[in-house]
Amino acid sequence: MKRKLQLYCLSVVFALVSLTSISFAQELSDDFFCDGCFQEELYDYNMETVVYSDVYGRLMDIYTPVDNRNEPRPLILFAHGGAFVGGSKNTGSSEYFCKAFAKKGYVAASYNYQLANSLIDLADSTKMIEIVMKAISDGKAAIRYFTKDAATENTYNINPDLVFVGGNSAGAILSMNLAMIGNDGTDYPAHIAEAIDANGGLEGNSGNPGYSSEVAGVVNLAGGLNQLAFLDEQDVPFVSCHGDIDGVVPYDCQDVYWADTIMGLFDLVDICGSGALHPKADELGIQNALLTFEGDDHTPWSVDLSQGNALKMDQVIDFSTEFLYGLMQGLVSDVEDNVAEAIQVSLAPNPADQHINLQLKGAHFLQNIQLYDALGRLVYEKNGLFNNSFQIKRNQLAAGVYHLLIQTDVGSKSEKIVFK
């Protein structure tokens, strides 16, 4: 099936110029990005099952790479699909996803979460929002299981600043809402606010209190948000994969299953899928990427995987891997924020057609510059400058947003440039 790649990445501003309000306190060694780490399947893995919520007895499978490395690892937690009425941590897509990322060097985890009691609950939008909020509570407790461990026993050696969440279908809805709701203090509609309050607030009541549940990004596989208004400038980056004729979780903004009501009795939940979320993210300056499976229905990767064909699932994993790798390259820095703030630069014109003049202000001097595209790929570098100005020429670069890493005699600074 033909697939259409859409990259909406109009804000590639990374850790030193943060539009996503992510700060990375834990410095990483120079060996963090070893050859192939976090991109290729290099390692074997171990798997164990733990109880991550003592409150509700929820289970989680943790896949840990056998990598013999000391560097703190990125963590990704994956939530299964099943319309919030079925599914488990052991579904085929969840296991496949977690195994693949563990082999790349991530700690990966698949967890069970609160489900509805029956299909009747699915038909009641108010009831379903309550269930989704309880599932989000579980997801945050699962994150805190790891951040608590990082602050105490450090069994899994994760970097608490590199925590990502993802999911398939319902699990993607869970993960997107977990990451996006509450970042800006927005007043939500009464029925959503009531569900949040009844569940112990935004952090929920599923256990492991007192530790961080913040995330650095989301892998959204055929999920969405209840409203586009849930996105704001402070939200974290996200990468999505979605079929454009999805009949369950709409590609654009519709009711789930494309049905306003069931027999005129029940009001179904509204959802805005990937086709609507990514243009909105562009407007807000949120780093994002979208892989559209043209002509495909709901989660074609899972459907094919259940029939023994992993081609589309591998495409999803490869696309997500590339995005997260680029995200980590841009976000991870061993430079203190105050050093970056002390480095003042001028970039003009910006946006530009053919070239941008870089001028370093003050008595400092340039050493090296590196230019990365929206997926974190190095597209240009110049070393050994030892002056305070340089002209960045477009040459064969495509139109778009680029991440410029400027290395000086006193530290490094990250800036955004745009070629029209």
Confidence (pTM): 0.73
Sign of CA dihedral 239, 241, 244, 246: negative
SS in 3 state form for the chain?
Answer: CCCEEECCCCCCCCCCCCCCCCCCCCCCCCCCCCCCCCCCCCCEEEEEEEEEECCCCEEEEEEEEECCCCCCEEEEEEECCCCCCCCCCCCHHHHHHHHHHHHHCCEEEEECCCCCCCHHHHCCHHHHHHHHHHHHHHHHHHHHHHHHHHHCCCCCCEEEEEEEEEEECHHHHHHHHHHHCCCCCCCCCHHHHHHHHHCCCCCCCCCCCCCCCCCCEEEEECCCECCHHHCCCCCCCEEEEEECCCCCCCCCEEEHHHCCEECCCEECCEEECHHHHHHHHHHHCCCEEEEEECCCCCCHHHHHHHCCCCHHHHHHHHHHHHHHHHHHHHHCCCCCHHHHHHCCEEEECCCECCEEEEEECCCCCEEEEEEECCCCCEEEEECCCCCCEEEEECCCCCCEEEEEEEEECCCEEEEEEEEC
Determine whether 308 is exposed, middle or buried from the number of CB atoms within 10 Å of its CB (0-12, 13-18, 19+).
exposed
What average pLDDT does range 3-27 have in this prediction?
A: 38
pLDDT beyond 80 at 91: yes
Topology match between the domains 4-331 and 337-419: no
pLDDT of residue 339: 47
Q: Map out the domains of the chain as residue ranges.
A: 4-331, 337-419
Task: Give the gyration radius of the chain's Cα atoms.
Answer: 22
Residue 414: pLDDT band (50, 70, 90) is confident
Predicted pLDDT at 408: 81
Q: Tell me what percent of the residues of the chain surpass a pLDDT of 90.
A: 54
In this predicted structure, what is the pLDDT of residue 107?
A: 98
Q: How high is the pLDDT of residue 265? A: 43
Q: How confident is the model at residue 412, as a pLDDT?
A: 73
The rounded distance, in Å, linking the Cα atoms of 347 and 418 is 10
Give the fold, CATH level 3, of 337-419: Immunoglobulin-like (2.60.40)
pLDDT band at 47 (very low <50, low <70, confident <90, very high): very high
Give the contacts of 304 (CB within 8 A, at least 6 positions apart). 310, 311, 312, 313
CATH number listed for the domain at residues 4-331: 3.40.50.1820
pLDDT at 3: 45
